[in-house]
Amino acid sequence: MESAAWTAGDEPVAGVVGTGSDSSADEPSLEESLEGILAEYGGSVVPGSVETVCRADPSFVVALGDAALFGLLQSGACIDVPVLPVDCRTEIDGTRRNSLTDAVRTVLEGDARVRVHPVLAVRIGDGRRHRALWDVTLATDEPARISEFSIESQGESIDQFRADGVVVATAVGSHGYANAVDGPILSAAIEAVVAAPIAPFDTHTDRWVLPNDDLTLSVERDESAVAVSVDGRTLDTITVDTRVHITADGTLSTLLIPDE
């Protein structure tokens, strides 16, 4: 998806979620370095938990690592605030920790751009809702164990196949694991996901591009427990009686730093 211009506004507040870098007695901490930069622009830094940061009504949020970005996504507390990912998965915009101060200065100068990524809601059975930025994976929890899976899209049966698992990915996630199992790369300009089997028993099993709303994954044979993972984190183990429902659930905006 195309990026758009974005400015932090007057008296910007930078939220910082995640673990800062260690520093010696002679070196400022990461938070202290950011506080110095924000002060130059009449702003401030609020580090802490997702709840603490979001209560401060930040102009943008610095997410230090995949765990911080995942926590922001799951909370939904300040989901409309642009995020600057730091040391996160390579498929997403962002920067590295050793370039963070320069990146924040770029943001405050108004030279960063914002890119919007579709997000999925994932409900395992009747349980709580999770959110996925990259992908949702069902896979047998034992190596080399095969099971049988089915995919439904908007109430229509798409296919049923034997495999080690199945992955459903967003446009940004289609560059990762889904692509490694021969799924196509998606453009974020279309409201779709890619669904691909993992190590299918029949090597001629299809891959699909499907609407990103009202998708259901099911385990059809009670042969092995199946782990459900969202963005690389295993959340639950299911059996043949549990269905995984996937729907579109808004967007997440990330800050794009030119030349990074």
pLDDT in tens, 81-97: 999 999 998 778 889 99
Share of the chain above pLDDT 90, in %: 74
Amino acid at 191: E
pLDDT at 260 over 80: no
Tally of structural domains, the chain: 2
- Does a structural domain hold residue 259? no
pLDDT value at residue 202? 87
Backbone phi, psi, residue 174, to 5°:
-65, -15
> CA 166 to CA 238: how far, in whole Å?
14
Query: 31: which strand partners?
Result: none
As given in the structure block, the two tokens for residue 103 are 């990146």
Q: Which of 153, 209, 164, 161 is nearest to 186 (CA)?
A: 209
Residue 23: pLDDT band by 50, 70, 90 thresholds? very low
pLDDT value at residue 22? 47
Query: 204: which strand partners?
Result: none
Q: 55 and 152: one domain?
A: no
pLDDT value at residue 185? 95
DSSP H or E stretch at residue 121: strand 113-124
- Does a structural domain hold residue 255? no
**Distant-in-sequence, close-in-space partners of 193: CB < 8 Å, separation ≥ 6:** 120, 168, 169, 170, 186, 209, 210, 211, 212, 215, 246
Q: 200 and 125: one domain?
A: yes
pLDDT digits (tens, 9 = 90+) for 112-135: 999 999 999 999 998 889 999 999
Q: Which residue has the higher pLDDT, 140 or 7?
A: 140
Give the distance from CA 135 to its chain's centroid: 7
CATH number of the domain enclosing 169: 2.60.200.30
As given in the structure block, the two tokens for residue 167 are 């992955």
Q: 150 and 193: one domain?
A: yes
- Does a structural domain hold residue 123? yes
pLDDT at 25 over 60: no
Q: 91 and 163: one domain?
A: no
pLDDT value at residue 252? 93
- Does a structural domain hold residue 256? no
Q: 72 and 185: one domain?
A: no
Q: 73 and 170: one domain?
A: no
Q: 132 and 245: one domain?
A: yes
CATH number of the domain enclosing 78: 3.40.50.10330
Query: 148: which strand partners?
Result: 162
Q: 134 and 207: one domain?
A: yes
> CA 118 to CA 213: how far, in whole Å?
11
Q: 167 and 71: one domain?
A: no
**Distant-in-sequence, close-in-space partners of 1: CB < 8 Å, separation ≥ 6:** 115, 116, 117, 171, 187, 188, 189
> CA 63 to CA 230: how far, in whole Å?
18
Q: Which of 171, 207, 173, 174 is nearest to 192 (CA)?
A: 171
pLDDT digits (tens, 9 = 90+) for 214-238: 999 999 987 888 999 999 999 999 9
Mean pLDDT of the chain: 90
Enter the pTM of the model.
0.89
pLDDT at 144 over 80: no
Q: 87 and 151: one domain?
A: no
Q: 94 and 127: one domain?
A: no
pLDDT digits (tens, 9 = 90+) for 49-88: 999 999 999 999 999 999 999 999 999 888 889 999 999 9
Strand pairing report for 135-140 and 156-169 = antiparallel
Out of 49, 78, 111, a domain closes at 111
- Does a structural domain hold residue 73? yes
Out of 111, 131, 164, a domain closes at 111
pLDDT value at residue 20? 61
Backbone phi, psi, residue 128, to 5°:
-70, 160
- Does a structural domain hold residue 260? no
Host domain of residue 13:
4-111
Give the distance from CA 26 to its chain's centroid: 36
pLDDT at 158 over 80: yes
pLDDT digits (tens, 9 = 90+) for 162-205: 999 999 999 999 999 999 999 999 998 889 999 999 999 988 88
Amino acid at 253: S
- Does a structural domain hold residue 257? no
Out of 88, 111, 134, a domain closes at 111
Whether residue 137 contacts residue 165, with contact meaning beta carbons closer than 8 Å, is answered with yes
pLDDT at 37 over 70: yes
Q: 87 and 170: one domain?
A: no
Task: Reduce the DSSP state of residue 207 to 3 states and report it.
Answer: coil
Burial status of residue 11 (CB atoms within 10 A of its CB: 0-12, 13-18, 19 or more):
exposed
Angle at 72 between CA 66 and CA 78, to 5 degrees: 150
